[in-house]
C-alpha cells in the first residue's frame, strides 16, 4: 500500500517511510522544545540551582563523619601563569607519598582502549 505525503503529489512513500518521517518530525519538534527549555533554564539562576540540587544526595552528619574525606589540601584558583588558566593549588605542604585528594580509579585492562587518536610516524620514527 502506498500513501501520499500531504502537499506533495510527486513523491509517494510506503507507510513505513511515512511513519519514519512523522517520527523524525516529532523528534525535531521535541528537540526544539528541549533546547528552548534549556535556554530558559540557563538564564534563570534559581532554576539552575534547583536542577543542581536534584543531583545532590543529602547526608546527615553521622554519615559524613564515617564516610567523608576532608579535602582541604588543595583549592581551585586561577594560575599566576597567564596562559595556564584555572587549576588546583596546594594550600598546605604536601609531602612525597601523601594523598592529595581521593579519586576513584577505573582499572583498564586493555591499554589500547585508551587510544584517542591514531599515531602517525615519519621516516625518522618521530611522532607527527
Question: pLDDT tens-digit profile of 17-31?
Answer: 777 777 787 777 778
> Can you give the pTM of this predicted structure?
0.33
What is the Cα–Cα distance from 76 to 82, expressed in whole angstroms? 16
pLDDT at 9: 45
Question: Within the chain, which residues score under 50 in pLDDT?
Answer: 1-4, 9-10, 128
pLDDT at 104: 73
Cβ atoms of 128 and 118 within 8 Å: the answer is: no
CA-based radius of gyration for the chain: 27
Cβ atoms of 40 and 32 within 8 Å: the answer is: no
Amino acid at each position: 500500500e502506498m500513501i501520499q505525503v500531504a502537499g506533495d503529489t510527486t513523491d509517494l512513500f510506503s507507510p513505513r517511510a511515512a511513519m519514519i518521517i512523522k517520527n523524525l518530525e516529532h523528534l525535531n519538534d521535541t528537540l526544539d522544545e528541549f533546547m528552548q527549555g534549556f535556554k530558559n533554564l540557563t538564564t534563570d539562576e534559581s532554576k539552575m540551582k534547583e536542577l543542581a540540587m536534584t543531583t545532590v544526595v543529602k547526608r546527615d552528619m553521622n554519615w559524613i563523619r564515617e564516610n567523608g574525606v576532608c579535602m582541604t589540601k588543595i583549592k581551585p584558583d586561577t594560575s599566576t601563569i597567564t596562559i595556564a588558566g584555572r587549576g588546583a593549588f596546594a594550600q598546605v605542604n604536601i609531602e612525597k607519598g601523601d594523598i592529595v585528594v581521593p579519586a576513584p580509579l577505573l582499572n583498564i585492562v586493555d591499554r589500547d582502549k585508551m587510544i584517542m587518536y591514531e599515531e602517525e610516524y615519519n621516516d625518522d620514527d618521530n611522532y607527527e
